Amino acid sequence: MSASVLYDAPGPKARARNRVLAVVGTLAIVALIAISVMRLEEKGHLAYEMWDIFNYAGIRQNIADAILATLKAFGIAAVGSLVLGVLLAVGRLSDHKPVRWFATGFIELFRSIPLLITIYAVWVGFLTDYSMWALAIGLSIYNGCVQAEVLRAGINAVPKGQREAAYALGMSKTQVMTNVLMPQAVRAMLPTIISQLVVTLKDTSLGFIILYPELLQTARLIASNTQVNGQYPYVSTIVVIGTIYIAMCLVLSGLANWIEKRGRRAKTGISPAEAEAVVLAGDASQAVGTTILGGPGSDRGGSTGN
């Protein structure tokens, strides 16, 4: 059901009413923004000097370093979570009971504990002096579990005939998994996997709490070390750094959507999952098994988890 089914094509009266509502709604939003801007102006947060600090070479260098630090933690966590995800997914589908139980237990445990708790425990327990590794390892563990569930859903969505045909050709279990099932699962789940990578990128901001000098921590440092007009420029730094963060996440989710659209054009194979489905770090056992609803891809047999 598309949205337009919910209301009739507007006649002259409805059109007039809609126009009035539109104006009122727009005015309300504009008024809210205007009040915010005025209040900020009143407190001196919009003064030229507050924003001029981003012209200083030192602060620019700080921000560049911070972006690099964020990307470094993200890179390690992305690779780590994907590797762990493949291992755990294969482990959970293994024929050996102990392996299966271990993988299931690991996934269920770490997926239901807040990521921050895990990161903090790794930081305090093992890597107090290496906050980047604590962050990257914590992210890898948590997101690895989520990616494992995504991949498992993908593998289960591969038609049964594929596996049977591969076994009939005399392939070993490993060969079936690596040559037949995994490639199709990855292809189908690519948008979801990338969406989870967006979550990983967003979650690098937790480095703020374990004092890893990524973007947010740098923002805090800049804001608390620079004094302008007798005030700390929290507002301007948070706005600038926030914009950078959101831009990075938007680029990555744009990539996910693009791949999804591209994959949908192709006629072969199982259709790719929806990128949007998984953006939240959630409990996959709830969502796996229920197809994510609606949209052009809802006819596929697979399912996605959070």
Which residues form the interface with other proteins (CB under 8 A)?
1-3, 5-8, 10, 14, 18, 21-22, 25-26, 29, 35-36, 39-40, 43, 45, 109, 112-117, 120-121, 124-125, 198, 202-206, 208-209, 216, 219-220, 234-235, 238, 241-242, 245-246, 249-250, 253, 276, 279-284, 286-287, 290, 292-295, 306
Rounded least distance, CB 49 to other proteins, Å: 17
Find the helix packing angle between 215-225 and 57-92, rounded to 10°. 150
Give whole-number Cα distances, 12 to 6, 8, 39, 235, in Å: 18, 12, 40, 46
Q: Is the CB of 103 or the CB of 149 nearer to other proteins?
A: 149
Q: Is the CB of 171 or the CB of 209 nearer to other proteins?
A: 209
Rounded least distance, CB 76 to other proteins, Å: 18
* Cα–Cα nearest to 187, from 291, 107, 106, 263: 263
- Rama region for 292: left / alpha / beta (φ>0; ψ in -120 to 50; rest): beta
For residues 50 and 228, the answer to whether their CB atoms sit within 8 Å is: yes
Give ∠ CA 53-54-59 in degrees, rounded to 5: 90
Name the strand (E) or helix (H) holding 181: none
Rounded least distance, CB 10 to other proteins, Å: 6
Give ∠ CA 80-82-88 in degrees, rounded to 5: 100
Rounded least distance, CB 267 to other proteins, Å: 24
Q: Is the CB of 22 or the CB of 165 nearer to other proteins?
A: 22
For residues 273 and 304, the answer to whether their CB atoms sit within 8 Å is: yes
Q: Is the CB of 62 or the CB of 282 nearer to other proteins?
A: 282
Q: Is the CB of 88 or the CB of 198 nearer to other proteins?
A: 198
Rounded least distance, CB 165 to other proteins, Å: 33
Q: Is the CB of 10 or the CB of 159 nearer to other proteins?
A: 10
Backbone φ, ψ for residue 103 (5° rounding):
-60, -45
Backbone φ, ψ for residue 231 (5° rounding):
-135, 160
Rounded least distance, CB 213 to other proteins, Å: 14
Rounded least distance, CB 184 to other proteins, Å: 25
Give 52's Cβ-side CA count (13 Å radius).
6
Q: Is the CB of 94 or the CB of 257 nearer to other proteins?
A: 257
Handedness of CA 235, 251, 75, 206 (dihedral sign): positive
